[in-house]
Amino acid sequence: MINKEKLTELNNIYKTELLENTLPFWLEHSIDHQYGGYFSCLMRDGRVYDTDKFAWMLGRELWSLSKIYNEYGNDQRCLDGAKAGAVFLRKHAFTKEGDVYFSYKQNGEPLVHPYNIFSECFVCAGFAEYYRATGEEWSKELAIKLHERIQIRKKRPKGIWTKAVDDARAFSALNTIMIDFMLFIELKDIVPEYELMPILEENIHRFFKWHVDVPNNRILERAIPGGGYDFDHMEGRLLTPGHALETMWFLMKILHELGNTKLINTLAELMLHSINYGWDEQLGGIPVYKDALGLMGDKLEANQRHWWVHLESLSAMLLAYKLTRRQEFWEWFIRIHDYTFKHFPDEEYGEWYGYLDKYGNPEFTVKGSKFKTYYHLPRTLMCCERWLNDLYLSLPDTTV
Amino acid sequence: MINKEKLTELNNIYKTELLENTLPFWLEHSIDHQYGGYFSCLMRDGRVYDTDKFAWMLGRELWSLSKIYNEYGNDQRCLDGAKAGAVFLRKHAFTKEGDVYFSYKQNGEPLVHPYNIFSECFVCAGFAEYYRATGEEWSKELAIKLHERIQIRKKRPKGIWTKAVDDARAFSALNTIMIDFMLFIELKDIVPEYELMPILEENIHRFFKWHVDVPNNRILERAIPGGGYDFDHMEGRLLTPGHALETMWFLMKILHELGNTKLINTLAELMLHSINYGWDEQLGGIPVYKDALGLMGDKLEANQRHWWVHLESLSAMLLAYKLTRRQEFWEWFIRIHDYTFKHFPDEEYGEWYGYLDKYGNPEFTVKGSKFKTYYHLPRTLMCCERWLNDLYLSLPDTTV
């Protein structure tokens, strides 16, 4: 039952989880006070288990701390934390071509070359948000330059490290679409609309015309450019429900701001299908990967339950509910919320587990890794907190 | 209790598993009668779930079918199967530099460049064994040429696809040592001893001086050249008990043939430590990866039970028992045997599951993949069948 009381209760849960149960963990354990930057490899209790630093993890935490600073009362601890990341990245991130090394030693010496463009994407978003927090022009300029490099490199994101034989089997990758949607959201007050809009339109076209498996309303992780399916190979059959939902809520948010109601309804339908095929009716939760024909892929962690999958699904369901008011989305939101808050938070040390087994028990108890930092969690908590509040305000007082 | 009756019973199990329960599955399902070569992506019932072909899988199955042909009565079906792989590889495997593409479409068109040397290693071993089956000189010549290329490339095995910044953090990788031990065994009647011995000696030195974590008697997957440990980073803490045991039984076999008893005893001690820290006392079975400090690595499948880990451990324990007659090794062999034969074989469709969860239940039911073909299984079954027979012959008749 949706009423003001329930919305208030949920809003409090998301806000408390953000500001009291998770943010302090990262402020306390992740910031490197010696060299700047962030540790992301954190044990359950916050101990660092690897001192290396990973650019996309740095960019993501920079984004989160800046965003919380901007949106939740200008907390100086967040700004100080953001600065530690921004200064480290400004000093150590870049190759002489202006690309971003994938990883660094604790002191900033580069370890791994920029063999893909994801480091650039998240460092770009981080600098943009840090600019909004501080007004630092250099941070804005770096975000703009990175966006330009990403647009140049995205046709061949692995560059000289591309292992695939050129043109042997061309796939359009969903993650490059998602990244452009994300950057549209993050850069729309920094990069001119006449630059961003054509990129957006191209990606909307790719998404709907290539990546939607129309007969089954599923979103393919890798699609054939121009349309059609390649189901003879596991690459072409890969489904990542969490990824599909993340991509779709980005786009839904953009379409809402652009006032495109028709496509929102199409997206809502696809989201409903995604959560329906993503959710495991037997064991609960959403596996990371599925196969379009129910066969097999090459991801051995496919059946695990990962934090980000559930968080992005929460954002997707709540935004879809907010914009369509279809009851199914609210029910899915509550169902995923119950699973997520039952299994992921660590009552003892705070913060959330990242990796559960298919039964919902921690497969590993770490709080951060080469892949997990403070990003999906605060973003979802912020989004849901705000959207729950919007819903509250939209209800007439009589429903109290 | 070790007696002739028990040895006969076990010998029958291994031989039956080889020739009746697993070989027919691969002869029936993996051979591509249209284009030659092998499918390795096979569902539980043998259906092909991906028609792509992977060089290291092709080389491995070529080796196994040739070996079974050579050692078990010259079965024509094995020779025909081997030929399908050898001809496909001869025609499609090579780049113009003589390296081996990582993967191919069903028809042999290359998909992925030779971004590492493992394809070369297993194709080399496959051609060598096929030469022994057929006397085909071209097959021998290709094995010799591949071995030369491997020796040139192994200092920088990823070549132009190397993502690590040069010299930023040098590690010696256990897998390159293992490969050279394996190739020593496979090529010793093909490549002159004066070429192989210096390579062997260098690798024995690297293994004992760099990769043995002396205080704890553990084998490090990545060691610091020259010695010492890097336990601040998960890379430097990685332990793969199955890999360590595989490497050690290769070396033990070599040392036995060279008559080096002293090092065999040292190895036996290390093997015992490896299985002791590898075995999960609580749940049974051997996880794929462990962390030297009990912290965390970056392998999300770490806790799964993989077929090859248990098979290589069986070979290691039985060979160590055969050569040292220490009772602990026999007990470990039986313990691992019981777990392995209880959990991995598929009673319904034949062949073995590859991927169990930590509780010993199939995480995936496939029989082959991008990583699993017919290799570890027949090799272990052949080795154990022979070594059990050797043990039988070594017992006096009075123990019957």
Count of helix runs (H) and strand runs (E) in chain B: 14, 14
d(CA B385, CA A358) in angstroms, rounded, equals 38
| Helix/strand/coil for A217 | coil
Please give, rounded to a whole number of angstroms, the shortest distance from the CA of A21 to a CA of chain B: 23
Taking Cα atoms as reference points, which of B377, B364, B389, B340 lies closest to residue B21?
A: B377
Kindly tell me the burial class for residue B96, based on how many C-beta atoms sit within 10 Å of its own C-beta (0-12, 13-18, 19 or more): exposed
What digits encode the pLDDT tens for the residues A257-289?
999 999 999 999 999 999 999 999 999 999 999
Q: What percent of chain A has pLDDT over 90?
A: 96
Please give, rounded to a whole number of angstroms, the shortest distance from the CA of A194 to a CA of chain B: 36
What digits encode the pLDDT tens for the residues A46-102?
999 999 999 999 999 999 999 999 999 999 999 999 999 999 999 999 999 999 999
* Pairing label, strands A238-239, A290-291: antiparallel
Q: Which of A50, A115, A295 sits opposite B43 (nearest CB)?
A: A295
| A285: phi then psi, degrees, rounded to nearest 5 | 80, 175
Contact A169 B111 (CB under 8 A): yes
Taking Cα atoms as reference points, which of B305, B317, B226, B308 lies closest to residue B268?
A: B317
Distances from the Cα of B44 to the Cα of B18, B106, B138, B355, angstroms? 18, 20, 36, 12
Q: Which of B52, B295, B364 sits opposite A43 (nearest CB)?
A: B295
Q: What is the DSSP string of B196-214?
A: HHHHHHHHHHHIIIIIEEG
Q: Are B252 and B264 within 8 A, CB to CB?
A: yes
Which residues does residue A110 pair with via DSSP β-bridges, in sequence order? A104
Q: Which amino acid is at B93?
A: A
Q: Are A163 and B113 within 8 A, CB to CB?
A: yes
What digits encode the pLDDT tens for the residues B280-313?
999 999 999 999 999 999 999 999 999 999 999 9
pLDDT value at position B3? 94
- Spatial CB neighbours of A189, under 8 Å, sequence gap ≥ 6: A132
Evaluate if residue B81 carries a pLDDT over 80: yes
Which residues does residue A305 pair with via DSSP β-bridges, in sequence order? A356
pLDDT value at position A398? 63
Evaluate if residue A183 carries a pLDDT over 50: yes
Domains defined for chain B, CATH in brackets:
24-30+174-369 (1.50.10.10), 49-168 (no CATH)
Contact A163 B296 (CB under 8 A): no
pLDDT value at position A397? 77
Q: Given CB atoms, is B113 within the 8 Å cutoff of chain A? A: yes
Contact B113 A164 (CB under 8 A): yes
CA-nearest residue of chain A to B236?
A50
Cβ-based contacts of A104 with chain B (< 8 Å): none
Q: Are B383 and B318 within 8 A, CB to CB?
A: yes
What digits encode the pLDDT tens for the residues B113-141?
999 999 999 999 999 999 999 999 999 99
Q: Are A240 and A289 within 8 A, CB to CB?
A: yes
What digits encode the pLDDT tens for the residues B306-350?
999 999 999 999 999 999 999 999 999 999 999 999 999 999 999
Q: Given CB atoms, is A296 within the 8 Å cutoff of chain B? A: yes
Q: Given CB atoms, is A301 within the 8 Å cutoff of chain B? A: yes
Contact B161 A165 (CB under 8 A): no
d(CA B175, CA B122) in angstroms, rounded, equals 13
Please give, rounded to a whole number of angstroms, the shortest distance from the CA of B300 to a CA of chain A: 6
Supply A270's token pair: 């696809």
Cβ-based contacts of B233 with chain A (< 8 Å): 50-52
d(CA A8, CA A385) in angstroms, rounded, equals 10
For chain A, give percent helix, strand, coil, nearest 5.
60, 10, 35
Q: Are B83 and B66 within 8 A, CB to CB?
A: no
| A219: phi then psi, degrees, rounded to nearest 5 | -105, 120
Q: Are A88 and A136 within 8 A, CB to CB?
A: no
Q: What is the DSSP string of A82-139?
A: HHHHHHHHHHHSB-TTS-B-SEE-TTS-EEE---SSHHHHHHHHHHHHHHHHH--HHH
Evaluate if residue A381 carries a pLDDT over 80: yes
Supply A267's token pair: 């997206």
Supply A17's token pair: 């989880």
Q: Which of A41, A111, A358 sits opposite B164 (nearest CB)?
A: A111
**Eight-state DSSP code of residue A165:** P
pLDDT value at position B398? 62
What digits encode the pLDDT tens for the residues A11-28?
999 999 999 999 999 999
Q: Given CB atoms, is A357 within the 8 Å cutoff of chain B? A: yes
pLDDT value at position B167? 87
Q: Given CB atoms, is B230 within the 8 Å cutoff of chain A? A: no
Which residues does residue A222 pair with via DSSP β-bridges, in sequence order? A173
What is the arithmetic mean of pLDDT over B61-90?
98
pLDDT value at position A400? 45
Distances from the Cα of B348 to the Cα of B25, B29, B357, B378, angstroms? 12, 16, 20, 19
pLDDT value at position B400? 44
What digits encode the pLDDT tens for the residues A306-327?
999 999 999 999 999 999 999 9
Long-range contacts of range A296-299, CB-CB < 8 Å, 24 or more positions apart? A296/A234, A296/B41, A296/B43, A296/B49, A296/B364, A296/B366, A296/B369, A297/A234, A297/A237, A297/A238, A298/A234, A298/B369, A298/B370, A298/B371, A299/A238
